[in-house]
Structure 1
Amino acid sequence: MSPILAILVVAFFLYCVTTSASDPDPIQDFCIPNPKFGSIKTAHNGSLPCKNSSEATTDDFVFSGIKGAGNFSDTGLAAISVNPAIFPGINTLGMSFVRADLKVGGYNPPHFHPRATEIAYVVQGSVYAGFVDSTNQVFARVIEQGEVIVFPRGLLHFLMNVGDMPTTIFGSFNSQNPGLQKIPTAIFGSGIHKELLEKAFGLSPKQIEAMRRRFNPKRVK
């Protein structure tokens, strides 16, 4: 193989890898899913036929559902995730977002998004936030109102309100379906064999059962 051809092959391979590493680029101005063909929640890979552009309205591109906080969980977190299933205007645009509110002392446990990088903007309050890289180095500090932090794609990250007032955070993702796996639930609530968990974490059978009841009581017999 000639050097020039080898360079072209490598360049083509790198191009394919980088272009397949995120949502595909749209091939039209926008695509408002046509409800006649089903729900985007059940569509294959998020793909549904689009409405005719003449049928789209301004309301398709405006979302009012993050004016207030959502319902709070027992961790003091209220999160409203916005994706094309509830906001048709962002379908095929390769993005989604979330509003997260934290009570004083509230937290978002370690989790990751397998398909997206996240940028989080602190609207009000202050949070201890950070991520852990693949060498187990932690990058974390207190983020104040008006500051932004980025969580690289696929890396474990976390948030905790360390101030004396409620915190509001706006997060944006470079995928319309970033995915979410919370580490405690994935480990103790998924049904992994308890003997493996005992060995991996040095916990007793009783402690494993307690963790299972906490993170997925339906799986505990």
Structure 2
Amino acid sequence: MSPKLVLLLVTLSLHYYAHITTASDPDPIQDFCIPNPEFGVTKLAHLTILPCKNSSEATTDDFVFSGLRSAGNFSESGLATIPVNPIVFPGLNTLGMSFVRADLKAGAVNPPHFHPRATEISYVVQGSVYSGFVDSSNRVFASVIEQGEVMVFPRGLVHFQMNVGDKPATVFGSFNGQNPGSQKIPSAIFGSGIQAELLEKAFGLTPKQIGTMKRKFDPKR
């Protein structure tokens, strides 16, 4: 391989590395950008930045959200979440943030998961919540967070929560990105279609045990 080609490949690699390590939501270039409903919500749902409508058509209602007054629908595990992004709260578009309300019944958990595109600040509104994250050296940072306390979960690191009190707990999470993404570890591993043989070898489980986990976490079953 010629020295010039090697230099080119190194330069491109460094440029790519610099891009992925500094990438974040772009800075806004106007006061606000209310999504244009003419494009349709379903068509916009996959976009990070949504097309704007004319600023003269914006109203105060675009910047007010009332959907967090009460808990969302609880799952069988006792967890209810209400994610808030520009799709449901137009005023957030291009501002580089989003948030979520999570309610946990006594003993309920928010299972290990991570957000690939945002850091999260978690504020306990009420209750006692065992919260923590695991860094890339598999060191765990965890503590029981009480009402009024805050914990940060760095971008891309696995984190978790569990209501350790005897009453319902409410947590408010804020993200420094309007499309943080979320992958729950159990579903990503056992509900994504990874070949059972690989999972058996990776976790030392029997085919029957793998089958049980797949039935539990595969959304298509």
TM-score with structure 1 length normalisation? 0.89
Determine if contact 1:69/1:80 at 8 Å carries over to the other structure.
yes
Q: Choose which of 71, 96, 110 in structure 1 pairs with 2:73.
A: 71
**Structure 1 residues 160 and 43: CA distance shift in structure 2, 3 A:** closer
The aligned counterpart of 1:122 is 124
Q: Does 1:50 align with 2:52?
A: yes
Query: How many pairs does the alignment contain?
Result: 209
Deviation at 1:42, TM superposition (A): 3.0
Determine if contact 1:40/1:47 at 8 Å carries over to the other structure.
no
**Structure 1 residues 70 and 93: CA distance shift in structure 2, 3 A:** same
Q: What does 1:129-208 align with in structure 2 at a 5 Å threshold? A: 129-208=131-210
Q: For the residues of structure 1 that align with 2:135 and 2:196, how far apart are their CA atoms?
A: 27
Q: Choose which of 24, 39, 42 in structure 1 pairs with 2:41.
A: 39
Q: For the residues of structure 2 that align with 1:87 and 1:101, how far apart are their CA atoms?
A: 20
Which structure 2 segments of 5+ residues have no match? 1-10
Deviation at 1:51, TM superposition (A): 1.6
Output the amino acid matched with 1:78: A
Q: For the residues of structure 2 that align with 1:106 and 1:39, how far apart are their CA atoms?
A: 32
Output the amino acid matched with 1:93: L
Q: For the residues of structure 2 that align with 1:188 and 1:77, how far apart are their CA atoms?
A: 20
Output the amino acid matched with 1:185: S
**Structure 1 residues 71 and 44: CA distance shift in structure 2, 3 A:** closer
Q: For the residues of structure 2 that align with 1:175 and 1:104, how far apart are their CA atoms?
A: 30
Q: For the residues of structure 2 that align with 1:160 and 1:142, how far apart are their CA atoms?
A: 9
Q: For the residues of structure 1 that align with 2:155 and 2:191, how far apart are their CA atoms?
A: 23
Determine if contact 1:126/1:145 at 8 Å carries over to the other structure.
yes
Q: For the residues of structure 2 that align with 1:172 and 1:100, how far apart are their CA atoms?
A: 11
Q: For the residues of structure 1 that align with 2:31 and 2:21, how far apart are their CA atoms?
A: 19
TM-score with structure 2 length normalisation? 0.89
Determine if contact 2:98/2:176 at 8 Å carries over to the other structure.
yes
Q: Residue 165 of structure 2 aligns to a residue in which SS? A: coil
Runs of 4+ in 1 over 6 A off after TM superposition: none
**Structure 1 residues 98 and 50: CA distance shift in structure 2, 3 A:** same
Determine if contact 2:33/2:91 at 8 Å carries over to the other structure.
yes
Deviation at 1:86, TM superposition (A): 0.3
Output the amino acid matched with 1:146: G
**Structure 1 residues 46 and 143: CA distance shift in structure 2, 3 A:** same
Determine if contact 1:113/1:178 at 8 Å carries over to the other structure.
yes
Deviation at 1:17, TM superposition (A): 3.5
Q: Does 1:81 align with 2:83?
A: yes
